[in-house]
Amino acid sequence: MDVVEYTDRLLKNAKESSRKIASAGSLLKNRALEKIAEDLRANKQQIISENKKDLNTAAEMGLSSSVIDRLTLTDARIDDMADGVMTIVGLRDPVGEVLDGCVRPNGLKISKVRVPLGVVAIIYEARPNVTADAAALCLKTGNATILRGGKESIHSNVAIYKVIESALESAGLDKRCVQVMETVDRAAVDILLKADEYVDVIIPRGGESLIRAITGKSTIPVIKHYQGICHTYVDKFADLQMALDICVNAKAQRPATCNAMETMLVHKDVADSFLPESIVKLREAGVEIKGCKDTLDVLTRHKDKLPDNCIDDIKLATDEDWATEYLDMVLSVKVTQSLDEAIDHIAKYGSAHSDAIVTENYANAERFTAEVDSAATYVNASTRFTDGGEFGMGAEIGISTDKLHARGPMGLPELTSYKYIVHGNGQVRG
């Protein structure tokens, strides 16, 4: 079967099955999810055996250690996948929730009700755990899904999919409601991205280049986030010990995530008090610093508080640095003259993901959260909390920096739309 015929069959299967899964009740969906979790645990060795094929290919391709780590499946990681599926079982099913309603003067009863999106296509890179996570989230919300992982994880993804497919059939659901593209031919993705007759939304999970490529080609709505250029602003009214703890956590706790701090902004009135100690702590954590001229001037004045040669190791930040998502132990630091300058800097260089202010001043906190146009704004907390699990959603399909249809961590409600259900007793419009 050629790639056009294969992809066309996949798309038709998804559309046909979407009508069936949309009407499945919570008990049936949960039973299927429980079976998926059980079977993932029971088939660990088969999944790991297939994963080793991908790891061998990754080594031959010379992929980085971080990519290989994300690609690797172990007993513990498969248990984590199964646990994640069981977490979704325990979450409230949003489908059928009445969001609003009214009775019109003519007697019409109008209800606004949550419904599945329909067919969701998810395109992702070297994270085979996404296969289970995304399938479970879409299943719980009554969506049919087409999953397309990277070629470097094809054996792992297909192995996990076969477990899911068998579990769906055992539970009495149409197994076509979850499908994995088993071809690595890029032509299949190009066909998928133009299939607006069958697919309702595309969700890419991966680097900026992947997301831009998908957005540029797709005729289907894409929910995306390009970058996570996150800021923490240390206000002149900040509790400096709190600010130190927050900044070190936001940068160094897990720097390769999209919600890690990439730029630290510090008000000039506290720069002399805050910067020397914060730079020492960040350097001790292994963070490389790139600072503005004012940052370097402050540190030079207080070089007696810094380790030998510390200032020599700090590079002068450029405009390119302010606009860079490092995803690494690198941090840009800027001294600002005011809250206004901090907000302007975030507006110019930020990516509308997650930004924080540390302050004891209520008015400044209110201004920051009102004027910084990001998916998540924080007062006196680390940006590392922008995550579906941390937000109490239990799980997420991704983090959106769009404003339509979803924004921020996307849990179960964000995988639904709504429709109006109208009940009458013979009314006609005059």
| DSSP character at residue 222 | B
CA 36 – CA 160 distance, rounded (Å)? 10
d(CA 196, CA 200): 7
| pLDDT for the residue 128 | 95
DSSP annotation of 317 = P
pLDDT value of position 208: 87
Three-point CA angle 358, 364, 366, nearest 5°: 100
Q: C-alpha dihedral over 176, 177, 182, 188, to 10 degrees?
A: 110
Tokens in use for 81?
């996948």
Q: Where are the alpha helices (DSSP H) in 172-284?
A: 186-193, 208-217, 240-252, 268-284
Which residues are 178's β-sheet partners?
145
Four-way CATH pick for 230-385: 3.30.420.10, 3.40.309.10, 3.40.50.11900, 3.40.50.2020: 3.40.309.10
Specify the pLDDT at position 226. 84
Domain spans of the chain?
3-224+402-423, 230-385
Top CATH class, 3-224+402-423:
alpha beta
Amino acid (one-letter) located at 123 = I
CA distance 416 to 321: 38
Contact (CB, 8 A) for 89 and 30: yes
Helix residue ranges, H only, 129-267: 129-140, 154-171, 186-193, 208-217, 240-252
Q: Which residues, 6 or more positions from 345, have their beta carbon under 8 angstroms from its beta carbon?
A: 231, 263, 265, 322, 334, 336
pTM, 2 dp: 0.90
Query: Pairing mode, if any, of strands 178-180 and 398-400?
Result: unpaired
Please list the ranges in the chain whose pLDDT falls under 50: none
Write down the pLDDT at residue 310.
87
Q: Could you give phi then psi for residue 119, rounded to 5 degrees? A: -115, 120
- What was the pLDDT predicted at 126? 84
CB 204 within 8 A of CB 228: no
Rounded Cα distance, 339 and 358, in Å: 11
| H-state helical runs in 302-403 | 319-322, 339-349, 362-371
**Which pLDDT belongs to residue 396?**
86
